[in-house]
A and B are shown apart, each in its own frame.
Chain A
């Protein structure tokens, strides 16, 4: 289990971890993709899942979101086992997928309405939340444009807005800034970090980009399907810097 002693106290002692993964092992065919992965994301924290391409980040998030079923180990979202209480678990989380998962022929508003319906939100509530999210992400003017006419950064922000419509307390972001320019990346990072700060949303931020990590972030380094190291970014970085530390950890595991 991760050493979380250095993290500030949780909002409440009775609040379960936003995400608790224990002993997770998964194979695709004969190939082990994840091996005995164990870590937690405390409620209201920003946690970085750092790993090179092929580390198993996307598979891990697919298991958390029940796109696959884990072969071994347990996954709980706010105490709800994703296998036994998948409805409660999925209600508590929002997901931004690595691959764009938004209908390009529908408008931003239509995509958001569709998501609200999939979560069973009443029409009035859905309209109010869509308006609020569009306002928050400064995309009101783009609301009635088709997704295919929006920039990569805009459509990504719509996907983040969509993931938040049902008020989840855990947000999973899988390489959410890949393929975006520096400005769009900065906007998205600032938006997501703001969610942690202002709304107490826990975020698991999967990335291979070290420059997205801040010194106070809790980092889990995943490589070849195993957790190689976890702790505060500044501690992992030590004196050599996070870049070198990351390279050393992943090369040692190679």
Chain B
């Protein structure tokens, strides 16, 4: 396959994701309402009870509203990554997945296109959220809005890759509720999204260790530092490594000769 043909294929997958996204505009609203409620309601309440010390990347005391922004940005990426998994299961039930998988393009390429497309849509939602936060009065360093882009992309790919891997294991659409309970909420709450890790450690060292094992924590920190124009190498390393593992796992899972998807589906075509 030529590079041009592959680019056209990517464009087609991105375009379809965009069309589906526009048709389901409530998904866009829901994706924004969730972090905005946390920002307007939860953060407003916590502002008065939770003090945040001067820890990197912050140079001065900040309000809780500002602290929680990277966590909420990562929350959008997390929910969208899992939404991507839901979309794959939905496609499988509708049969659209077969149309995708019978394309002559390499299967790994098709999955990466799908992943990249949903990540790019997530980024659009993140920037809308950051704009609303800016209008609300949370103004981050101007260059941070640009510098955070690679961090958002790799974090989005990591979470989308996890979603893709999960989608190969979910038999039916109804099972997606389990993903919410067993993946999204634990990942979000056992991370540095809502509280700094030193605060968590004060409350429970074990919980701090759990947060340290959670790849979502590193995605949050990568985004946090990048928003202030700084590079957090450990987070970048963990997020990159997890992205490779999750995406490779998804590619293997969707491979017809090795894939767990064949075993999971027990006979029904993908």
Q: Which residues of A contact B (CB under 8 A)?
A: 28-29, 33, 58-59, 62, 65-69, 83, 86-91, 95, 97, 99-106, 110, 113-123, 162
Contacts and interface: CB of A to CB of B under 8 A. Distances in A.
A67 B98 contact: yes
A162 B96 CA distance: 13
B172 to A, nearest CB: 15
Contacts of B1: 87, 120
Task: Report the 10 A-B pairs with minimum CB-CB distance, sorted nearest first.
Answer: A117-B12, A120-B5, A101-B95, A69-B257, A118-B103, A90-B104, A28-B267, A69-B256, A91-B104, A62-B269
Contact of A117 (B2, B13, B266, B269): B13
B127 to A, nearest CB: 25
A91 to B, nearest CB: 4
Contacts of B5: 119-121
Question: B interface, by DSSP: helix, strand, loop or mixed?
Answer: helix
B173 to A, nearest CB: 15
Interface in B74-107: 94-96, 98-106
A102 B94 CA distance: 7
A186 B75 CA distance: 53
21 contacts: A59-B269, A65-B102, A66-B256, A67-B270, A68-B262, A68-B270, A69-B255, A87-B104, A87-B105, A90-B104, A97-B95, A97-B98, A101-B96, A102-B96, A105-B20, A106-B20, A113-B15, A118-B110, A119-B104, A120-B2, A120-B105
Contact of B9 (A69, A83, A120): A120
Contacts of A102: 95-96, 99
B16 A103 contact: yes
A141 to B, nearest CB: 21
Given A66-B102, A117-B9, A59 B15 contact: no
B11 interface: yes
Interface of B: 1-2, 4-6, 8-9, 11-13, 15-16, 19-20, 23, 94-96, 98-106, 110, 255-257, 262, 266-267, 269-270
Nearest to A106: B19
A58 B266 CA distance: 14
Please indicate which of the listed interface residues A66, A69, A91, A118 has the most CB atoms of chain B within 10 Å of its own CB.
Answer: A118
A114 B106 contact: no
A65 B101 CA distance: 9
Contacts of B23: 105
B267 A122 contact: no
Contact of A99 (B2, B6, B95): B95
A32 to B, nearest CB: 12
Nearest to B258: A69
Contacts of B100: 118
A196 to B, nearest CB: 21
Contact of A115 (B95, B99, B106, B256): B99
B120 to A, nearest CB: 16
Contact of A103 (B8, B96, B102, B103): B96
Contacts of B103: 90, 118-119
B104 A29 contact: no
Contact of B16 (A101, A114, A119): A114
B95 A100 contact: yes
Contacts of A88: 104
A40 B13 CA distance: 34
Given A99-B95, A114-B12, A120-B104, 11 more contacts: A28-B266, A29-B266, A29-B267, A58-B269, A66-B101, A67-B270, A68-B269, A102-B96, A114-B15, A117-B15, A118-B12
A65 B6 CA distance: 20
Contact of A101 (B8, B15, B99, B256): B99
Given A87-B106, A114-B15, A120 B4 contact: yes
Contacts of B269: 58-59, 62, 67-68
A68 B20 CA distance: 27
Nearest to A65: B102
B99 A83 contact: no
A66 B257 CA distance: 9
